[in-house]
A = this chain, B = another copy of it.
Amino acid sequence: MSTATTPADSPSARSGSADRPEGAPLSAEIVTTGTEILLGEIVDTNAAWIAQQLREAGVNLYYKTTVGDNEPRLRGVIELGLSRSDVILVTGGLGPTADDITRQAIANATGRPLVLHEGALAALQERFARFGVPMTENNRQQALIPAGAILIENPVGTAPGFIVETERGTVIALPGVPREMKHLMTETVLPYLRARSGHTGIIRRRILRTVGIGESAIDSRLRDLMDSANPTVGLAAHMGQADVRITARAATADEAEAMLDVLEARIRERIGEFIYSTTPDEPFERAVVSLLQAAGATVAVLESDPPGILARRLSTGLESYQPVSAAWMVGAPDTPEPVQRVLAGLPAPQELSETQVQSVAQALRQATGTTYGLLWLGTAGADEGVFGRTPGKTWLAVAGPGGVTTASVPFGGQDEYTLVRISNQALGVLWQQLRTSS
C-alpha cells in the first residue's frame, strides 16, 4: 500500500470544476462500463493505462469505478463523479447494440438530449462503404452525441468519442477497444486535459528497494516523512521484500530530482543499511550478484533439501558471470570430503550450535577455495513454515574473508512464501558481508 501522489484532502472538499482554484491540478476519475469487466470475465487493461497517462499529464486520479451495462447505474456513477471530480473519463459502451448505454447515460446525467452529429454520421457512412457492408439502423446511433458536446473523431474504429463540458464538471466518453481508446486519448483527450489543467509541472518518482526489514518497521522509522504532501513517501510490501516509493512534483525535472535527492538522503539515514537497489523491479539476488561481480568473488553453496533455491537465485538470468562455482545439497555423495566429515558428526538443525554451523561454513569455503561459503541447514516439515503450527529451525551462515556470520529463524522451509523469506535472509547475510568488506 502506498500514499504516492494522493493528497489527503476530503472528498467533500471537491465539488466539480467550478470550484477548482486557479492553477490547482485537475481531479479525475475513471468509469469503466461492461458487465464482462465487472464480472471479471475479461481484464480491464484500459484503466491502468489511462491512470499512467493522467499522472504524466499532471491530472490527479482519485477513483476508478466499474459498472455493468445498466443505464441507471452508470448514470448514477457519472452523477456522483460530477459531484466530486473535475473530469470523468468513461470507457466502453459506445457500440451500436442495445447494451451500449454510455451515450444515453451521459446524456441523462448531464441533462443534454442526444442529437445526431452530421459529421459523425458522414464518417460512419464512409466507413461502411469502405467495409462494403450495409449500415444498419442501430449503427446510426453511433453518430448521436449529447447536445453541445465536442466530437472526438475515431479514425481507427467506428465509434467516435465525445467531451461534454458542464458547470459541474466534464464527462469524456471513449470507446472500450484498447487500440481505439489509446488513439483517441493520445491524439485528443490528453492534449485537451493538458491545456485545461495548464499543467507545466513535472512529476518524478524513485523507488528504494529494501530487504531484511519489515513493512511495519519501515513505517515506524519513516512515519513523520509519510505525512508530507510533496514530496510523498509510500510503502509497498512484496513477498519477503518492501519498496519505499518517493515522488516529487516541481516546475522542472531538475527541481523534482533535487527534492528526491534530499528526501532519499533522509530515508537512507534511517534505513540505509536495508536499501539494496533504486532500480524498479530489481530482484535482491541481482543486487547481491552485482556486489559479488564487483569484488570478483565466487561462492560455494551447501543447502539442505529442499530446495536448491540459493544456488538457483544466484545463477538465474546471468549471462557473462557465474558467481556460484559449486553447489551441493546436504547428503549429496559428491560433497567435498572435508565437508562431509564435518557434517557427519552433526545433529538435526534444531540441536545445532552456532559453533557447529560456523564450522560447516568454514569447511565449505576452504574445501572449495571460493571467496564465500554459503550454508542453509534447516528443517522442512510440511507444517514447519512461517505460517505453520509445528516448530521448525533453520540455520544460515556465510564464511568469507572477514570470518563467519550466522543467523537462524524458528521455522523451516517448504512452502513458497517460507522459502522466499529464508532465502532472502541467507542472501542478506552474504550481502552484508560483501558491503562491509568492500
Contacts and interface: CB of A to CB of B under 8 A. Distances in A.
A386 B48 contact: no
Interface in A387-422: 387, 408-411, 417
Given A136-B216, A409-B132, A2 B34 contact: yes
Which interface residue of A3, A5, A50, A176 has the most chain B CB atoms within 10 A? Answer: A3
A11 B386 CA distance: 45
Given A96-B216, A417-B179, A11 B73 contact: yes
Nearest to A96: B216
B40 A47 contact: yes
Contact of A77 (B34, B63, B69, B130): B63
A8 B66 contact: no
Copies in the complex: 2
B80 A130 contact: no
A240 interface: no
Interface in A21-70: 33-36, 38-43, 47-52, 55, 61-70
Given A1-B34, A136-B220, 20 more contacts: A1-B92, A1-B176, A2-B69, A3-B98, A4-B69, A6-B70, A8-B70, A11-B73, A12-B76, A38-B64, A39-B61, A40-B48, A40-B49, A40-B51, A43-B43, A96-B215, A96-B216, A127-B387, A130-B386, A130-B411
20 contacts: A1-B35, A1-B92, A2-B34, A3-B69, A4-B69, A8-B72, A40-B47, A41-B48, A64-B66, A80-B80, A95-B215, A97-B216, A97-B219, A97-B235, A127-B387, A131-B409, A131-B411, A132-B409, A133-B214, A138-B219
